[in-house]
Amino acid sequence: MADEAAKTESGKTVLIAIDGSEQARNAFDWYKNNIFKDTDKVVLVHAVEMHEILNSQQWYATPYSFDKDTLFAILEKEKEKVTAKLEEFAQLLRDSKINGTVKSVHSSSPGEGICKIAKEVNADLIITGTRGMGSVRRTLLGSVSDYILHHAHVPVIVCRH
């Protein structure tokens, strides 16, 4: 009981999945407008999908050779893109006057990375947006929000616009 009271006084840790999309921004805005408390600690998480980088055809000079200079150039460009996004998300927190941090996670799927970070930061709640795909498209393509709903260890709020 005392632990719960201390947790309430110190606030909850809220993880918000963010990728720069309109859906992610709507999820952030929903949090800010509906459940934000000054005592909350917010962690904005950007999940970087490694398979997109690793499957890039730019890696190969010929079908059977591997060009490491191209690999390093691709990875450096990706690092710059991720850093720019994290700076953009940090500014979003500052502009909203919300106490928080931004993180990126590299994983085989965004949902997996988000759930991993939620455990690491001991999140009390995960908030994510959704593109609102139908069940057939979600089955074929997968869904970040669907993955999080089924694998998270804490409550999840999926925001639809």
DSSP string, 116-139: HHHHHTT-SEEEEE-----HHHHH
Domain boundaries, the chain: 13-48+83-159
pTM of the model: 0.78
Residue 53 vs residue 96, higher pLDDT: 96
CA distances from 7 to 4, 36, 72, 144, 155 (A): 5, 15, 44, 29, 16
**Dist. CA 143–CA 132, nearest whole Å:** 9
Residue type, 19: D
**Dist. CA 64–CA 74, nearest whole Å:** 19
How does pLDDT run across 83-93, given as a tens digit for each residue? 888 999 999 99
How does pLDDT run across 24-39, given as a tens digit for each residue? 999 999 999 999 999 9
Query: Does domain 13-48+83-159 sit in CATH 3.40.50.620?
Result: yes
Q: According to the per-residue pLDDT averaged within each range, which of 8-22, 79-93, 115-129 is highest? A: 115-129
Q: According to the per-residue pLDDT averaged within each range, which of 26-35, 56-65, 123-132, 136-145 is highest? A: 26-35
